[in-house]
């Protein structure tokens, strides 16, 4: 999980899980309902990296994160075991891209399961090494006892998967695990001649599989919602678990089991065609070169289901796990190249630390701490990782266990395949050395020195040339309020970007510029817009109006709509908002202000239809 450590710190500093009654979010902040606010360590929270500010008022205990708060919130509620659907998020699931939803599900399901999988994979690798060197015989009781860890983890994989995805799919984790246990039991798993209700069942192996149980748990979640709606509450405790199990088992055996196997076979067929047409080397090369980008996008675990499918079907993964290892160690090499190139002591410490962590298979510190800032390491990994992946693909390197990283190398000698281990070591060395050399040659971008910041006066008077000005039109008629005077610390401090406030004189909110609606919050109090130049505009209607849950708001547009400057976005009953006791000030900020030379608010005291409220200097 991308924000796991960050969320763990937040949970600890607000008083622990037991002190959290509920948590929702708006466009920029987490809003906690705490049982006892005195337990929250507000000053420590303010010092936490990633926290812009903390606001505690009679509305809620608010931790201001920024516009990526929805990602933080999604992981936070998962860690807390709360439902991902809250009052402030009604209707968001329906608009989610189906493919992205499936990829998110697979990625997030695999994340908690990786721990036992890595343990069993590493153990299998070392047992193979010990067997080859003669330290432990493969026939000895010690070997067989330790090997049972590996075999048990993969045999009972459906149980781990069921527990991992149940809450996300709105199913009971315990009923999901019970269903998975039934599927891998000796009465069903790989048993021929079974039938139910007179219908003959195909002989299927559910052990080691993951797709059938995910489909089954998805159905269980849907069925649970349906039963909770129609079964009387006084009968639900006793009747629902029975109905769920009795309905889900036959449906899984008749429908989801075969579908899951067909999907798995289809994945295998696709890569077999790819292998026969182009050669698997091209996929290995591309994945080894591009994995840091996938990690940055939060899709680093998408390859796990594919690798599992290969291991289940073929006994080894010919593509992804080897490529992931080569890429991780190439990241380490790139950071070593920067370590050797750097002269500043603090930079050397950073590059050395993240290089070692990447060598151990943990690349996020390098990617988020150095790659995003300096960018050139991405090119270095594409060179080194690509070359290492190319060699591994051409030599047909096989990964026999679900494991990656330096510690997983012994597993490549499984089945006495010494040449496979040698080829993998050579691939890793190519990736590491190639990335290190490329990073050293590319160098560390030097920050510009001696440049003076352009002032607002110079820009406004036109004394600075070669600057492109992008005006943002008015969003609502009314009296202009400087951002510093807004009664909300997140905005008044400029932490969310430069902008201004407008005390509205009419009820119409219009688009300030041509662009795409990037977000419409479910409670309708905030709208995001992104222009063709990449300018990200946040229109926040009122202060703390998220609590109104959409009352007094009528939003005309939806996420993804293309709008023109002056087009109506929403109508708002500002009188009703004021009568309800809320500040109606409309706040307009450019949330990615740091990407531009400056964002200059208007000097007018009143905004009219034809005025420009902000000017962005590119």
488 and 605 both lie in a single domain = yes
Choosing from 243, 275, 307, the residue where a domain stops is: 275
The answer to whether position 114 is within a domain reads: no
What's the CATH code of the domain at 41?
3.30.1360.60
Dist. CA 368–CA 588, nearest whole Å: 29
* Per-residue burial over 23-54, b = 16 or more CB atoms within 10 Å of its CB, e = otherwise: bbbbbbbbbbebeeeeebeeeebeeeeebbbb
Specify the DSSP class assigned to residue 445.
P
- Helices 257-277/303-314 angle, 10° precision: 90
Tokens coding 612: 């420009």
305 and 429 both lie in a single domain = yes
184 and 309 both lie in a single domain = no
259 and 326 both lie in a single domain = no
Q: Residue 120 burial by CB count (10 A; 0-12/13-18/19+): exposed, middle or buried?
A: buried
Single out the catalytic residue among 26, 165, 248, 613.
Answer: 26
Dist. CA 269–CA 376, nearest whole Å: 37
The answer to whether position 130 is within a domain reads: no
How many beta carbons lie within 10 A of that of residue 293, not counting itself? Answer: 15
Q: For residue 318, what pLDDT is reported? A: 84
The answer to whether position 203 is within a domain reads: yes
> Within 53-201, where are the H helices?
69-80, 98-133, 141-155, 157-166, 173-183
The answer to whether position 101 is within a domain reads: no
Tokens coding 318: 């010919």
Is residue 248 flagged as an active site residue? no
Q: Residue 420 burial by CB count (10 A; 0-12/13-18/19+): exposed, middle or buried?
A: buried
Q: For residue 97, what pLDDT is reported? A: 54
The answer to whether position 145 is within a domain reads: no
303 and 249 both lie in a single domain = no
Q: What are phi and psi of 400, to 5 degrees?
A: -85, -15
The answer to whether position 555 is within a domain reads: yes
User: 500 pairs with which residues across the strands?
Assistant: 482, 588
The answer to whether position 127 is within a domain reads: no
What is the number of structural domains in the chain?
A: 4
Choosing from 275, 308, 332, the residue where a domain stops is: 275
Q: For residue 28, what pLDDT is reported? A: 67
Q: CB of 159 within 8 A of CB of 177?
A: yes
585 and 462 both lie in a single domain = yes
Dist. CA 300–CA 368, nearest whole Å: 13
Element (H, E) at 526: strand 526-530
- From residue 184, alpha-carbon distances to 107, 152, 155, 240 in Å are 23, 11, 8, 23
The answer to whether position 16 is within a domain reads: yes
Dist. CA 363–CA 356, nearest whole Å: 9
Short-list 489, 474, 557, 484, CA closest to 518: 557
Q: For residue 206, what pLDDT is reported? A: 86
174 and 247 both lie in a single domain = yes
Q: For residue 369, what pLDDT is reported? A: 63
474 and 568 both lie in a single domain = yes
Q: Residue 450 burial by CB count (10 A; 0-12/13-18/19+): exposed, middle or buried?
A: exposed
What's the CATH code of the domain at 472?
2.70.70.10
473 and 582 both lie in a single domain = yes
Choosing from 240, 275, 310, the residue where a domain stops is: 275
236 and 344 both lie in a single domain = no
78 and 163 both lie in a single domain = no
Tokens coding 268: 């295998």
**pTM for the predicted model, two decimal places:** 0.48
231 and 350 both lie in a single domain = no
Rounded mean pLDDT for each run of 10 residues along the chain, 618 residues in total: 86 90 74 86 86 69 76 85 48 48 67 74 74 78 85 86 84 92 90 87 82 91 90 86 93 88 74 70 85 66 71 79 90 92 80 80 69 82 92 88 76 80 93 94 62 41 55 90 81 79 92 90 88 90 86 89 91 91 92 78 74 81
Q: CB of 506 within 8 A of CB of 498?
A: no
Supply the range of the domain harboring residue 217: 156-275
């Amino acid at each position: 999980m991308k924000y796991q450590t960050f969320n763990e710190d937040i949970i600890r500093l607000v008083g622990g899980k037991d002190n959290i009654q509920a948590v929702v979010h708006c466009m920029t902040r987490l809003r906690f309902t705490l049982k006892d606010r005195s337990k929250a360590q507000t000053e420590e929270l303010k010092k936490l990296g990633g926290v812009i500010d903390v606001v505690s008022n009679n509305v809620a205990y608010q931790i201001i994160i920024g516009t990526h708060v929805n990602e933080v919130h999604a992981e936070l509620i998962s860690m807390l075991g709360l439902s991902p659907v809250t009052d402030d998020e009604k209707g968001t699931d329906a608009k989610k891209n189906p493919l992205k939803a499936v990829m998110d599900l697979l990625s997030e399901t695999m994340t908690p399961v990786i721990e036992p999988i890595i343990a069993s994979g590493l153990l299998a690798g070392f047992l193979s090494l010990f067997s080859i060197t003669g330290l432990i015989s493969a026939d000895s009781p010690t070997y067989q006892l330790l090997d049972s860890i590996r075999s048990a983890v993969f045999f009972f994989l459906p149980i781990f998967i069921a527990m991992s995805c149940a809450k996300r799919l709105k199913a009971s984790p315990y009923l999901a695990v019970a269903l998975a246990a039934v599927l891998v039991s000796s009465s069903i798993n790989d048993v021929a001649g079974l039938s139910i209700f007179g219908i003959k069942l195909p002989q299927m192996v559910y052990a080691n599989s993951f797709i059938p149980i995910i489909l089954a748990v998805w159905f269980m979640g849907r069925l649970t919602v349906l039963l909770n709606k129609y079964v009387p509450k006084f009968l639900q405790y006793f009747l629902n678990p029975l109905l769920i199990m009795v309905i889900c088992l036959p449906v899984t055996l008749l429908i989801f089991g075969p579908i899951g196997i067909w999907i798995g076979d289809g994945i295998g067929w696709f890569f077999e065609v790819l292998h026969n047409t182009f050669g698997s080397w091209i996929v290995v090369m591309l994945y080894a070169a591009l994995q840091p980008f996938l990690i940055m996008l939060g899709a680093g675990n998408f390859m796990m289901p594919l690798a599992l499918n290969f291991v289940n079907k073929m006994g080894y993964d010919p593509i992804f796990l080897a490529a992931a290892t080569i890429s991780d160690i190439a990241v380490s090499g790139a950071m070593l190249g920067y370590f050797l190139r750097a002269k500043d002591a603090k930079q050397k410490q950073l590059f050395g630390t993240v290089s070692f962590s990447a060598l151990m298979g943990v690349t996020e510190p390098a990617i988020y701490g150095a790659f995003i800032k300096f960018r050139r390491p991405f090119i270095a990994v594409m060179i080194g990782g690509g070359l290492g992946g190319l060699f591994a693909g051409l030599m047909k390197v096989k990964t026999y266990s679900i494991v990656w990283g330096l510690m997983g190398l012994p597993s490549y000698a499984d089945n006495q395949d010494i040449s496979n281990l040698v080829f993998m070591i050579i691939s890793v060395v190519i990736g590491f050395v190639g990335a290190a050399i490329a990073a050293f040659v590319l160098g560390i971008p030097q920050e510009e020195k001696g440049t003076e910041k352009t002032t607002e006066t110079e820009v406004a008077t036109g004394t600075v040339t070669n600057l492109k000005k992008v005006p943002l039109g008015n969003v609502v008629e009314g009296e202009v309020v400087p951002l510093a005077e807004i009664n909300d610390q997140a905005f008044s401090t400029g932490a969310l970007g430069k902008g201004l406030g407008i005390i509205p004189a009419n009820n119409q909110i219009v688009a300030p510029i041509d662009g795409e609606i990037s977000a419409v919050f479910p409670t309708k109090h905030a709208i995001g817009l992104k222009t063709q130049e990449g300018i990200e505009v946040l229109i926040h209607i009122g202060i703390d109006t998220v609590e109104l849950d959409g009352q007094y708001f009528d939003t005309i547009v939806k996420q993804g709509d293309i709008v023109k400057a002056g087009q109506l976005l929403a109508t708002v009953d500002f009188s009703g908002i004021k009568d309800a006791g809320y500040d109606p000030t409309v706040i307009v900020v450019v949330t990615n202000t740091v990407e531009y030379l400056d964002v200059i608010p208007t000097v007018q005291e009143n905004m009219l239809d034809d005025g420009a409220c902000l000017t962005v200097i590119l």
